Amino acid sequence: MNLVEAIRALTTGDTAIVSVIGRRYTIAELAPKMIGENACVYNNVGMTEAERKGEWRVV
């Protein structure tokens, strides 16, 4: 799944998302403000470009 889909999953109650490089992010860290169909506004928290463009999984 992509980053927008992963962040959307966090807003429905999932605990965390894990990036392609294995870093774990929570809803509190990312604090999404707006989520659209293909984009969202969130806190970057030092996320790399590789993470943003890579695959994500929900845990």
Give me the tens of pLDDT residue by residue for the chain, a chain 59 residues long: 999 999 999 999 899 999 999 999 999 999 999 999 999 999 999 999 999 999 999 99
| Per-residue model confidence (pLDDT) at position 40 | 95
Judge whether 59 lies within some domain: no
| Count: domains in the chain | 1
**Residue type at 18?**
V
In a domain, 13, yes or no: yes
Residue 58 lies inside a defined structural domain of this protein: no
CB neighbour class for 18 (10 Å; exposed up to 12, middle 13-18, buried from 19): middle
Task: Say how far apart CA 10 and CA 16 lie, in whole Å.
Answer: 7
Question: What pLDDT score does 42 carry?
Answer: 97
Question: Which structural domain, as residue segments, surrounds residue 43?
Answer: 3-53
Could you tell me if residue 35 is inside a domain? Answer: yes
